[in-house]
A = this chain, B = another copy of it.
Amino acid sequence: MPGGAPLNLRSFLWRGENVFPDSEIVSRTHQGIHRYTIAEYAERVRKLASALEQAGIERGDRVGTFAWNNHWHQEAYYGVACMGAQVHMINLLLPDEHIQHIVADAEDEILIVDPVMLEKLEGAYDEEAFDSVEQYIVMGDTVPETSLEPVVDYESFIADGDPDYSFPQLPEDQPAGMCYTSGTTGKPKGVEYTQKMYWTQVMSLMTSEAGIKTDDVELTYVPMFHVSGWCRPFTTIAAGAKTVLPGPNPSAEDLAKLIEEEDVTVSAAVPTVFMDLLEYARESDVDFSSVRYFTSGGSATPRSLMEDYKQEFDVDLISGYGMTETSPVTHAYEPKPGMTDLPEEELFDLRSHSAGLPIAGLEFKVVNTDGEEVPWDGESLGELWMRGPWVTQEYYNAPDATEQAVTDDGWFKTGDIVRVSPEGYVDVVDRMDDLVKSGGEWIASVEVENAVMGHDEVVEAAVVPVPHERWDERPAAFVVTRDAVSDEAALRQEIKDLVAESYPSWWVPDAIRLVDGIPKGATGKFSKQTLRDEYVDESVIETVAENAPAT
Contact = CB atoms under 8 A, between A and B. Distances in A.
Contacts of A209: 213
A460 interface: no
Interface in A131-174: 169, 172-173
Nearest to A387: B5
Contacts of A1: 173, 393-394
A206 interface: yes
Given A388-B4, A393-B1, A337 B197 contact: no
Contacts of A172: 3
A210 B126 CA distance: 53
Interface on chain A toward B: helix, strand, loop, or mixed SS?
Answer: loop
B173 A3 contact: yes
Contacts of A19: 357-358, 423-424
Contact of A360 (B12, B362, B388, B409): B12
Q: Which of A196, A211, A376, A393 has the most CB of B within 10 A?
A: A196
Contacts of A3: 172-173, 194, 196-197, 392-393
A424 B38 CA distance: 14
B410 A360 contact: no
Contacts of A423: 19
A319 to B, nearest CB: 16
Contacts of A203: 200, 203-204, 207, 360-361
A7 interface: yes
Contacts of A280: none
A433 interface: no
- How many chain copies does the complex carry? 2
A337 B215 contact: yes
A202 to B, nearest CB: 8
Contacts of A546: none
B239 A390 contact: no
Nearest to A23: B337
Contacts of A197: 2-4
Contacts of A114: none
Nearest to A423: B19
Q: Point out which of A4, A169, A193, A202 has the most chain B C-beta atoms below 10 A from its C-beta.
A: A4
B2 A175 contact: yes
Interface in A173-205: 173, 175, 191-194, 196-197, 199-200, 202-204
Nearest to A213: B209
Interface string A89-121: 000000000000000000000000000000000
Interface string A197-240: 10110111011010101110000000000000000000000111
A393 B2 contact: yes
A214 B393 contact: no
B192 A2 contact: yes
A391 interface: yes
A391 B392 CA distance: 26
Minimum-distance CB pairs A-B, first 7 = A2-B192, A19-B424, A4-B389, A215-B337, A206-B207, A3-B194, A203-B203
23 contacts: A2-B173, A2-B197, A2-B393, A4-B196, A4-B197, A5-B389, A5-B393, A6-B389, A7-B200, A11-B361, A20-B424, A199-B361, A199-B389, A202-B360, A203-B203, A203-B204, A209-B213, A214-B334, A214-B336, A214-B337, A238-B361, A240-B336, A240-B337
Interface of A: 1-7, 10-12, 14-15, 18-20, 23, 169, 172-173, 175, 191-194, 196-197, 199-200, 202-204, 206-207, 209, 211, 213-215, 238-240, 242, 327, 334, 336-337, 357-358, 360-363, 376, 387-394, 396, 409-410, 423-424
Given A1-B394, A11-B360, A200-B203, 10 more contacts: A3-B196, A4-B393, A5-B362, A11-B363, A15-B358, A15-B363, A19-B358, A19-B423, A169-B409, A238-B361
